[in-house]
Amino acid sequence: MAWIRTFDESEATGRLADVYAELKKTPLAGGRVPNIMKCMGLRPEALMGVWRLNMAITFGASTLGRRREEMIATAVSALNRCHY
């Protein structure tokens, strides 16, 4: 359970709803807003900035290719017992 107020997709309005819609369009999100991003709902612009930074440094910033990057991210998450 989060200690920080999170905003479900169904309760997002205004700029937050716009940001959520943009996040859901990206392949990494899988058509939903990741829970870790929902905790930044109070500051939609900060949320968008963190999302863009994450996308820029996590995927496409290397010569490994998307498939290998995804495999590494999955292995690291499993080792850390992170369900993301």
Q: What is the residue-level pLDDT of the chain in tens, covering all 84 positions?
A: 558 888 999 999 999 999 999 999 887 778 889 888 998 999 999 999 999 998 888 776 778 887 888 888 889 889 998 766
* CA pair distance 46, 44, nearest whole angstrom: 5
Structural domain count of the chain: 1
With 0.85 as the threshold, say if the pTM is over it: no
Question: How much is the pLDDT for 40?
Answer: 92
CA 7, CA 44: separation in Å to the nearest integer? 11
Whether 53 is in a domain gets the answer: yes
In a domain, 1, yes or no: no
For residue 13, CA distances in Å to 30, 41, 42 come to 21, 10, 11
Contact 43, 13 (CB under 8 A): no
Is 22 inside a domain boundary?
yes
- For residue 49, give its domain range: 9-79
How many Å apart are CA 28 and CA 25, to the nearest integer? Answer: 9
